[in-house]
Structure 1
Amino acid sequence: MSQNATPPASTAGMKNADPKSQQPSAGKNTPAADAGPEATTRVNKAVFFGSAFGVLGIALWAIVAKDNAEAVIGSMVGWVSTNMGWYYFLIVTAVVVFVLFAAVSRVGRTKLGPDHSKPQFGMFTWAAMLFAAGIGIDLMFFSVSEPVSQYLAPPQGEGGTAEAARQALVWTLFHYGITGWALYALMGLALGYFSYRHNLPLSIRSALYPIFGKKIEGPMGHAVDIAALLGTIFGIATSLGIGVVQLNYGLNFMFGIPENLSVQIGLIALSVVMATVSVVSGVEKGIRRLSELNVILAVALMLFILATGKTNFLLDGIVQNIGDVVSRFPAMTMDTFAYDKPTEWMNAWTLFFWAWWIAWAPFVGLFLARISRGRTIRQFVLGTMTVPFLFIVLWISIFGNSSLELVMGGNMAFGDAAMSHPERGFYSLLAEYPAVPLTAAVATFTGLLFYVTSADSGALVMSNFTSHLKDADSDGPEWMRVFWAVATGLLTLAMLTVGGVTTLQNATIVMGLPLSLLLVFIMLGLYKALRVENSLNDSYRASLPGIITGRSSDLRGGRTWRQRLSRAMSYPGRRQTIRFAEAVAVPALQEVEAELKAQGAETALTVTTVEPCGIRSIDLQLPMGEERAFKYQIYPVQYETPSYATRRADPDDHYYRMEVFSQEGSYGYDLMGYTKEQVITDVLDHYEQHLEFLHLNRAAPGNTVLVEDQVAKDNWESDFDMQEETK
């Protein structure tokens, strides 16, 4: 779908001058060096050349032998609809169930990032970005043409009736609704979870690591990424093809510019040029500002139709449409029309839409993951599946019911135009309302910007998928982004040359099939990983009661209430924190390590100085065979001193906490003021909890480690002082 999904820039402002001063050594389980973060971003040659040759080969074949291409694609679509239609219905329904279960279950509290991570964006900004991701030029295309088409030629029953009108809006909302956003949520969840929580590359193959291990670093992983990229580029090409046809008619409507292939080639070239300008001149922020303007213009256009049309009828329609979708969705999602199959209708609508959503899932999923670091799985899934859909419901209900009202009122010329020439439907509707020159201009400008930002951000995502990124917030090289912008334009042109939008739709159905197989493995990989998260949560509850807050050590140490009050009111500065690290924390973990070694255990104790504060960080790790290693790290985290503090130890208005980190992140409590014995007690509490975690997973040896090689990486940002500023 032509979503406005431009990923946020990786060079956003940070609050601290030296971000590295707040990076704890997370010790995450990562794959071999070639799978983890890179020293610099470089090309993934196998994926780049494999996908590039595939795309260019298909494009040239379609241009040189278009009759053969049209015949082959048509026969493949016929085979898919005859033999695999049930599979498309089944897989998308399984995705809906899977992501909703993940959200509402206990594992929904798990974060897309370390346990201590905080969202980069506030709730309102995040919701606004989800909202912006939900609209595009294809929504303008189908919000008029599909309701009219379903009303006049429904898949079953008689057209032109009240029931046909009611069902027409339900079909449109069904095709643009919960199912599609569940596909986006699954892909975004997989990318965000494995990248931000387990330091795996921000690529599709990472979601398969729990199943195939290091094998995904070879041909298997390359094939996965190539399949994802091919599906993505066909999905984007379909959106651009629809956008070209829509914009071509808009220019004809306003200026009399003819509708032909030459004009469409010019529009494709325009998108490539603007995407290229975005790369070489660094105007990505400007493009994003225009994208935000798009949203404003789209909302204004929708409210104009609501205000100048039959407002009461449209409001009644919105309420009824929502009720019909809720009540009819469970049956529709599994309705394969087994006893009276309208094959041509299914190819043109449901199968095409499911394949299209699947093809777009890696693209939009990456965008959603990039803006959702620090969100819980529950927040991410429910937000993704509700915020954009609420806008889509309003948009389709207003424009769709306005269109039906005209057709039901006897305007069959409009109905025939919207059904036979869908690109004309939106403008034909605007022609029935006042100020059509202005509204048509706004619609064309809005569509043009959606069209260009889709090409630009699509090229960015594909350059990321064909690169070894140095970290999850980096982007592929600029020249590669230009290449994919040109390749997408060439593919769009090739498919339009063969047979227009219909051929693009058919190609999407075919290319979505292999990508849909990946969804099965992605769900299996996530299921395995989230089972481990559940066991980890169970081990917390089964362990000593104060382990999460640090209170168990406090209680066992016999601390008096005056000592506890003094500690609670203290905001220690740098010198006091250094003394604690040298006199208490380091000796405590050294004693624990010595005793572990005396008991025959293999340990690794690392003491480093965190710059620029000069405070020691102490990291104790204990290998556990084929299971997840035990990790206990004490790390200094800097905070601003609150205004209510009565005892300020540092004139610079900041203080330090010596926080405890495990493999999953910070536990969020402070050891400052503890005695050496209390620190040792806290280490043992965590060690016993880790043994309980391994015990709960004893039925499946080795499944607590998502990746095979355990390489400590200093790759977690401290989300206490490094929150990305949003303005």
Structure 2
Amino acid sequence: MSDKSDNDRSVFKVSVGISVIFVLIGVLIPNQLGAAMEVAQSFVLESFGWFYQLVATFFLMFALFMIFSKYGKIKLGKPDSKPEYSRPAWFSMLFSAGMGIGLLFYGVSEPIAHFSTPPTGEGGTEQSAIVGMRYTWLHWGLHAWAIYAIVALALAYQRFRKDAPGLMSATLYPVLGEKVKGPIGQTIDVVAVFATLFGVAASLGLGSQQINAGLEYLVGIPNNFMVQMIIMGIITVLFIISANTGISKGIKYLSLANMSIATILFFAMLILGPTLFLLNMFTTSLGSYLQNLIPMGLRLAPFDESEAAWTQGWTVFYWAWWVSWTPFVGMFIARVSKGRTIREFTVAVLLVPSVVCAIWFTVFGGTGIFLEVTQGLNVSGQALETALFFVYQHLPLGIILSILTVALITTFFVTSADSATFVLGMQTTGGKLNPSNRVKVTWGLILVASTAVLMASGGLAGLQTAIIVSALPLSFIVLIMCYGLVKELNQELKGQQPYEKEKTVKKKIAG
């Protein structure tokens, strides 16, 4: 028991120590940090873009395999366990933790960016509108949620079926055995901590930028770095308060509030925007997406530098971002998914959010494209964080929509940070389902400080670099995790699990 406690303390101390050093470097020599991160980003994108494309496609194929495989009826928990949360509450927490801020930040800006500057062909055309929408769906659809589903599935299986700690290292026990309890396992958990830290930092950076943009539009507050730091400071207090209330109160209620506001915002945009155009755009984009799913997910353009740069800057970046978020989102989804079968879990995590994301981007991005094409508005010329509010200016009830959006970004911000501190606490306390408030507050402060340092040293590019670099080693860990999961499930079906033997013995005794 003491060895386990020592390992837990080691992961916490090493992770906090490295995080503090990183923050200090960012404070003392931000320019040098920014330059080093730029070099690292270029190296990883150019040298490992092919790898990210292949593994993202593999993860999608693996998730589909789990749905239709013989393992589908196995429950994430003991045979008699029941789901802890209702389906509406489950979906609400899944969305809020998974992609909340990004849906608002990129809702208009990404489809309109691809429409204006598509990966191939001329921009600003009918064809580029369809291409832009289907690539947005690619980045936020089946590939992304497959990555989440695999990690969440492995974590939930080990935690609730095998009573293992809720740690990334525990998912590799079928492959590494007792080595996961030593330095190798600690290293895996530290890698997961930093992938989580940088992945969530990117979302918090985007959130503070867009809240600032919304406040500039509504009340004229300047849009600059200092204001964004003040916003982050205020929200830090809010999410620390929320984190101290626990997952069944703070995160659950905020997630339900998020879904309610997001639903209102979605239907308002659908009704106030070009409704028929959006319905036609969705149908056309769906066909184009399904027809080109595999080619888009493996596209690299080795003979065209500009197309290759587009793929690296968008698609490869997204795959890295989703991989970096897997310890965070995966652990959180696993935590709230006890009692689901593998088939139910995988179908829900893979398909339902993908469809909702597709509809969301069609309504918001399609409205932006419609305004630019039919009214000549320069939507594509807006900054990423301001494009949504620019669209609101040209719709009825734009002020009300903007107020709702700022409120929603704020609650998404609090929920994401709240969930992240919870997961970071789990990762650095041996997988405790309820880490102490002291640990959560420590990680909350480090998370905000890291976000500030990354924004100061490189802005959005700095956040992207941290994601791309930290996700690379984690990608290999997830690949090994897939092998270990199949190995463990095969043993289960052969009746080699200790609790299954115990259950059989009890039945015989009872008989």
Q: Report the TM-score, using the length of structure 2 for normalisation.
A: 0.94
- Deviating more after overlay: 303-312 vs 60-69: 60-69
1:404 aligns to 2:363 (yes or no) = no
Q: CA 1:269–1:629 in structure 2 vs 1: closer, same or farther (change >3 Å)?
A: closer
1:73 aligns to 2:37 (yes or no) = yes
- Report the Cα offset of residue 260 of structure 1: 1.4
Q: Are the counterparts in 2 of residues 47 and 225 from structure 1 also a CA contact under 8 Å?
A: yes
Give the equivalent residue in structure 2 for 1:147.
Answer: 111
CA–CA distance in 1 between the matches of 2:476 and 2:301?
23
Give the equivalent residue in structure 2 for 1:363.
Answer: 328
Give the equivalent residue in structure 1 for 2:309.
Answer: 344
Superposed CA RMSD in Å reads 2.2
The structure with the largest strand share of the pair is 1
Give the equivalent residue in structure 2 for 1:317.
Answer: 281
Give the equivalent residue in structure 1 for 2:483.
Answer: 524
Q: CA 1:386–1:629 in structure 2 vs 1: closer, same or farther (change >3 Å)?
A: closer
Q: Are the counterparts in 1 of residues 299 and 311 from structure 2 also a CA contact under 8 Å?
A: no
Q: Deviations over 1:221-275 (max 9, x none)?
A: 0000000010000001000000011111111111111111211111111122112
- Report the Cα offset of residue 632 of structure 1: 5.6
3-state secondary structure, aligned to 1:413 = coil
1:264-283 to structure 2, matched below 5 A, reads: 264-280=228-244
1:455 pairs, out of 377, 392, 417, with 417
1:37-48 to structure 2, matched below 5 A, reads: 44-48=8-12
How many pairs align?
510
Q: Are the counterparts in 1 of residues 76 and 157 from structure 2 also a CA contact under 8 Å?
A: yes
CA–CA distance in 1 between the matches of 2:198 and 2:283?
35
3-state secondary structure, aligned to 1:404 = helix
Amino acid at match of 1:481: K
Give the equivalent residue in structure 2 for 1:257.
Answer: 221
3-state secondary structure, aligned to 1:186 = helix
Q: Are the counterparts in 2 of residues 275 and 482 from structure 1 also a CA contact under 8 Å?
A: no
CA–CA distance in 2 between the matches of 1:388 and 1:632?
37
Give the equivalent residue in structure 2 for 1:111.
Answer: 75
1:329 pairs, out of 287, 290, 293, with 293
- Report the Cα offset of residue 133 of structure 1: 4.6
Amino acid at match of 2:429: S
Q: Are the counterparts in 2 of residues 133 and 388 from structure 1 also a CA contact under 8 Å?
A: no
- Report the Cα offset of residue 402 of structure 1: 0.5
Q: Are the counterparts in 1 of residues 97 and 415 from structure 2 also a CA contact under 8 Å?
A: no
Q: Report the TM-score, using the length of structure 1 for normalisation.
A: 0.67
- Report the Cα offset of residue 347 of structure 1: 3.4
| Identity across matched positions, percent | 33
1:57 aligns to 2:16 (yes or no) = no
1:470-481 to structure 2, matched below 5 A, reads: 474-481=433-440
- Report the Cα offset of residue 469 of structure 1: 4.7
3-state secondary structure, aligned to 1:374 = coil
CA–CA distance in 2 between the matches of 1:281 and 1:112?
26
Q: CA 1:378–1:629 in structure 2 vs 1: closer, same or farther (change >3 Å)?
A: closer
1:91 pairs, out of 41, 55, 66, with 55
Give the equivalent residue in structure 2 for 1:500.
Answer: 459
CA–CA distance in 2 between the matches of 1:382 and 1:628?
25
Amino acid at match of 1:524: Y
Q: Are the counterparts in 2 of residues 191 and 365 from structure 1 also a CA contact under 8 Å?
A: yes
2:473 pairs, out of 514, 517, 523, with 514
Q: Are the counterparts in 2 of residues 271 and 455 from structure 1 also a CA contact under 8 Å?
A: no
Larger radius of gyration: 1
Give structure 1 stretches of 5+ with no counterpart: 1-31, 537-626, 634-660, 673-678, 680-727
Q: Are the counterparts in 2 of residues 182 and 385 from structure 1 also a CA contact under 8 Å?
A: yes
Give the equivalent residue in structure 2 for 1:591.
Answer: none
Q: CA 1:448–1:74 in structure 2 vs 1: closer, same or farther (change >3 Å)?
A: same
CA–CA distance in 1 between the matches of 2:193 and 2:320?
14
CA–CA distance in 2 between the matches of 1:169 and 1:294?
25
Q: CA 1:154–1:198 in structure 2 vs 1: closer, same or farther (change >3 Å)?
A: same
- Report the Cα offset of residue 129 of structure 1: 4.2
- Report the Cα offset of residue 46 of structure 1: 1.2
- Deviating more after overlay: 150-159 vs 479-488: 150-159
Give structure 2 stretches of 5+ with no counterpart: none
Amino acid at match of 1:432: H
Amino acid at match of 1:74: E
Amino acid at match of 1:468: G
- Report the Cα offset of residue 33 of structure 1: 8.2
CA–CA distance in 1 between the matches of 2:330 and 2:317?
19
Q: Are the counterparts in 2 of residues 178 and 389 from structure 1 also a CA contact under 8 Å?
A: yes
2:395 pairs, out of 433, 438, 443, with 433
The structure with the largest helix share of the pair is 2
3-state secondary structure, aligned to 1:445 = helix
Give the equivalent residue in structure 2 for 1:388.
Answer: 353
Q: Are the counterparts in 1 of residues 76 and 339 from structure 2 also a CA contact under 8 Å?
A: yes
Flag the structure with more relative contact order, 1 or 2, with Cα contacts below 8 A and sequence separation at least 6: 2
- Report the Cα offset of residue 353 of structure 1: 0.7
Q: CA 1:282–1:152 in structure 2 vs 1: closer, same or farther (change >3 Å)?
A: closer
Q: CA 1:375–1:64 in structure 2 vs 1: closer, same or farther (change >3 Å)?
A: same
- Deviating more after overlay: 285-294 vs 188-197: 285-294
3-state secondary structure, aligned to 2:107 = helix
